[in-house]
């Protein structure tokens, strides 16, 4: 009965993941199409300016509310479990106040052109663009709190629909505004205005849904301090991530300029890697992010209620799925990255960057999923420390190596960043779990499959290329690579993510009393 119940829970969990993933893929698809449009309408240089300004806005958004949504959702679940659901209105009000406490001053600083923010940009056009988008910071910070309410109520569908609608509004507004612009700089400004419009839209819809569904606010006084204490470590970690992205946007072009590139060339190279190649490389994170979103409250519940069997199984499943997804796509990009870049962006150099960045997918996916797991297990500070080690390696690369390998230093640094943090996160998971998850063999085999799949695809594409041309050969090579890779997983019995029967029988003997003892020992 225990295993049937846990199996039902896992099925429900992954059903929710599928729903969130479908909407996430739709959202990413719209964003990807819009990014292609922007790359053509703005050009590589204009897209670079847009990306730099957007990364700074992302940093500010992270500082305002990145830790608050997950903390609000956790606190709401905890209050309901203890029959204190009447406190949730105060929790929500506290979250809104904390987000406004940071977002309002930052908005004022940007709009008044404060000299303190001048160091963020090597190109003044980026600052002007940020001024267009910055009013949306206040509204999207409050929306982040409401998003946490949706998570706390397990209302992932509402959250997913609003996120998709926000992306659609940005795309529609951007195309309409840019089509009427007269120059490249005007185009970039209109793209920034589309971002603002989308933030206002999502805030308005989320606020309306919140009150329509009976959402209420309360007196925040007693909840401010505990909410701040709980959210601060997560905010610090995610702010660190955004800060790194901002530093990259500042340091990378500056170092390229220092070592001989013109400002236009440096911004263009940066735009190709960050604005064109990396969105493709991060494509698997759509599914991984959905899995992480749904998994966070589930793992936390497993851990604190002593359900170590379910905890172990969920961790194993998530890591194996992350490996499977990334390793299915990596050989495709290694074989056909150049043609993909040429087809999507009409730029062969972007395709070269895609090939060089492809292997980053595996450590990226592992870093994302393990960070979410550790956060759900109350290890935010250790996750921040692990992230810091990877970030240091990245910053060293982009500061020193541009003299030798140019923009490729960003690609190498990104790979090392996720590799280091992913390895450290996996090591920490092994230490803190009572029932140790078994994933190492799966991970090593998944990585080993990449080389033979790449070899087969490379051979097929090059042979066919001589007779039918590059693009038809690529169209045939891609499904062959995918089939060969999927076949490798199937032949080695790696398409079933369930724990084996031996593990089930062993774990089935763990009684409720033993679970309680293990939990007490762990505490």
DSSP 393-442: HHHHHHHHTHHHHTTHHHHHHHHHHHHHHHHHHHHHHHHH-SS----HHH
Worst-scoring range by mean pLDDT, 311-320, 439-448, 481-490? 311-320
Residue 261 has pLDDT above 50, yes or no: yes
Angle at 199 between CA 194 and CA 204, to 5 degrees: 125
Mean pLDDT, rounded, for 349-369: 93
Q: Please tell me the distance from the alpha carbon of residue 494 to that of residue 453, in angstroms, as a whole number.
A: 16
Q: Rounded to the nearest 10 degrees, how much is the dihedral formed by the CA atoms of 4, 6, 12, 17?
A: -140
pLDDT of amino acid 198: 94
| Total-model pTM | 0.71
pLDDT of amino acid 121: 63
Q: Could you tell me the CA-to-CA distances from 398 to 82, 219, 248, 249 in Å, in that order?
A: 49, 47, 8, 10
Residue 184 has pLDDT above 90, yes or no: no
**Residue for token pair 């393990």:** 370
Confidence of residue 2 (pLDDT cuts 50, 70, 90): very low
Q: Please tell me the distance from the alpha carbon of residue 71 to that of residue 237, in angstroms, as a whole number.
A: 14
% of the chain surpassing 90 pLDDT = 31
Residue 501 has pLDDT above 70, yes or no: no
Confidence of residue 8 (pLDDT cuts 50, 70, 90): low
Give the phi and the psi of residue 301 in degrees, each rounded to 5: -65, -45
More confident residue, 431 or 114: 431
Confidence of residue 512 (pLDDT cuts 50, 70, 90): very low
Q: Which CB contacts under 8 angstroms, 24+ apart, belong to 93-96? A: 93/217, 93/218, 93/219, 93/220, 93/223, 94/220, 94/223, 94/224, 94/227, 94/228, 95/65, 95/68, 95/69, 95/71, 95/145, 95/148, 95/227, 96/142, 96/145, 96/217, 96/220
Q: Please tell me the distance from the alpha carbon of residue 39 to that of residue 33, in angstroms, as a whole number.
A: 10
| 284-322 pLDDT per residue, tens | 777 777 777 777 667 766 776 677 888 888 888 889 988
pLDDT of amino acid 507: 46
Q: Are 419 and 387 in contact (CB under 8 A)?
A: no
| 402-438 pLDDT per residue, tens | 999 999 999 999 999 999 999 999 999 999 888 888 8
Q: Please tell me the distance from the alpha carbon of residue 7 to that of residue 346, in angstroms, as a whole number.
A: 48
Residue 21 has pLDDT above 70, yes or no: yes
Instruction: Please state, as a whole number, how many other Cβ atoms lie within 10 Å of the Cβ of residue 517.
Output: 12
Mean pLDDT, rounded, for 440-452: 94
Residue 332 has pLDDT above 60, yes or no: yes
Q: Please tell me the distance from the alpha carbon of residue 379 to that of residue 440, in angstroms, as a whole number.
A: 22
Give the end-to-end CA distance of the chain in Å, rounded to a whole number.
27
Residue 207 has pLDDT above 80, yes or no: yes
Worst-scoring range by mean pLDDT, 34-43, 101-110, 346-355? 34-43
Instruction: Please state, as a whole number, how many other Cβ atoms lie within 10 Å of the Cβ of residue 476.
Output: 16
Q: Could you tell me the CA-to-CA distances from 404 to 97, 296, 463 in Å, in that order?
A: 48, 42, 34
Residue 86 has pLDDT above 90, yes or no: no
pLDDT of amino acid 403: 92
| 34-83 pLDDT per residue, tens | 888 888 888 877 888 888 888 788 878 888 877 788 778 777 877 776 77
Residue 182 has pLDDT above 80, yes or no: no
pLDDT of amino acid 356: 95
Residue 226 has pLDDT above 80, yes or no: no
Q: Are 435 and 381 in contact (CB under 8 A)?
A: no
pLDDT of amino acid 92: 87
Domain spans in the chain, listed from the N-terminal domain onward: 1-258, 282-451+491-523
Residue 331 has pLDDT above 90, yes or no: yes
Q: Please tell me the distance from the alpha carbon of residue 461 to that of residue 469, in angstroms, as a whole number.
A: 9
Identify the top-confidence range among 27-41, 161-175, 260-274. Answer: 161-175
pLDDT of amino acid 490: 92
- For residue 76 the two structure tokens come to 């709401």
Q: Please tell me the distance from the alpha carbon of residue 396 to that of residue 389, in angstroms, as a whole number.
A: 11
Radius of gyration of the chain (CA): 24
Q: Please tell me the distance from the alpha carbon of residue 257 to that of residue 306, in angstroms, as a whole number.
A: 55
Confidence of residue 326 (pLDDT cuts 50, 70, 90): very high
Residue 520 has pLDDT above 50, yes or no: no
pLDDT of amino acid 57: 87
Q: Among 248, 258, 255, 269, which residue's Cα sits nearest to residue 414?
A: 248
Confidence of residue 119 (pLDDT cuts 50, 70, 90): low
If 0-12 CB within 10 Å is exposed, 13-18 middle and 19+ buried, where does residue 313 land?
buried
pLDDT of amino acid 381: 75
pLDDT of amino acid 499: 55
More confident residue, 66 or 480: 480
Burial 52-76 (b: 16+ CB within 10 A, else e): bbbbbbbbbbbbbbbbbbbbbbbbb
pLDDT of amino acid 112: 83
- For residue 178 the two structure tokens come to 């840019």
As a whole number, the mean pLDDT across the chain is 82
**Residue for token pair 């925040």:** 220
């Amino acid at each position: 009965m225990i295993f049937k119940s846990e199996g039902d829970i896992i099925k429900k969990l992954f059903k929710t993941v599928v729903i969130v993933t479908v909407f996430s893929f739709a959202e990413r698809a719209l964003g990807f199409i819009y990014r292609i449009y922007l790359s053509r309408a703005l050009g590589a240089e204009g897209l670079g300016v847009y990306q730099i300004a957007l990364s700074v806005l992302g940093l500010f958004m992270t500082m305002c509310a990145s830790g608050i949504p997950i903390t609000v959702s956790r606190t709401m679940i905890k209050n309901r479990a203890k029959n204190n659901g009447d406190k949730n209105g105060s929790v929500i009000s506290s979250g809104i106040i904390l987000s406004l406490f940071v977002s309002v001053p930052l908005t004022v600083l940007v709009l008044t052109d404060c000299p303190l923010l001048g160091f963020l940009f090597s190109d003044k056009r980026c600052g002007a663009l940020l001024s267009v988008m910055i009013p949306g910071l206040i509204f999207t910070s409050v929306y982040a709190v409401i998003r946490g309410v949706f998570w706390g109520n397990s209302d992932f569908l509402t959250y997913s629909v609003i996120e998709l609608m926000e992306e659609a509004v940005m795309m529609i507004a951007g195309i309409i505004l840019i089509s009427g612009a007269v120059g490249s700089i005007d185009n970039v400004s209109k793209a920034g205005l589309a971002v603002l419009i989308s933030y206002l839209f999502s805030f308005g819809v989320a606020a309306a849904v919140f009150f329509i569904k009976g959402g209420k606010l309360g007196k925040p006084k007693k909840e401010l301090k505990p909410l701040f204490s709980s959210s601060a470590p997560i905010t610090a970690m995610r702010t660190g991530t955004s800060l790194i992205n901002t530093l990259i946007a500042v340091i990378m072009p500056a170092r390229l300029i220092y070592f001989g590139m013109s400002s236009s060339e440096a911004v263009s190279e940066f735009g190709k890697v960050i604005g064109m190649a990396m969105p493709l490389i991060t494509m698997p994170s759509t599914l991984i992010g959905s899995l992480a979103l749904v998994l966070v409250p589930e793992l936390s519940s497993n851990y604190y209620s002593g359900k170590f069997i379910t905890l172990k199984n969920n961790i194993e499943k998530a890591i194996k799925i992350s490996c499977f997804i990334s390793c299915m796509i990596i050989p495709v990009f290694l074989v056909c990255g150049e043609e993909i870049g040429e087809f999507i962006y009409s730029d062969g150099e972007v395709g070269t960057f895609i090939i060089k960045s492809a292997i980053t997918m595996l450590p990226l996916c592992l870093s994302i999923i393990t960070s979410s797991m550790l956060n759900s297990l109350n290890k935010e500070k250790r996750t921040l420390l692990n992230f810091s080690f990877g970030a240091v390696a990245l910053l060293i690369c982009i500061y020193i190596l541009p003299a030798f390998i140019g923009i490729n230093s960003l690609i190498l640094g990104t790979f090392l960043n996720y590799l280091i943090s992913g390895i450290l996160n996996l090591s920490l998971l092994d230490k803190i779990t009572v029932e140790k998850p078994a994933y190492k063999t799966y991970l090593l085999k998944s990585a080993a499959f990449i080389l033979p799949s790449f070899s087969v695809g490379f051979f097929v594409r090059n042979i066919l290329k001589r007779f039918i041309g590059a693009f038809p050969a690529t169209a045939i090579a891609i499904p062959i690579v995918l089939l060969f890779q999927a076949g490798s997983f199937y032949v080695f019995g790696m398409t079933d993510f369930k724990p084996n029967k031996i593990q089930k029988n062993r774990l089935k003997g763990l009684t409720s009393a033993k679970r309680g003892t293990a939990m007490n020992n762990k505490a």
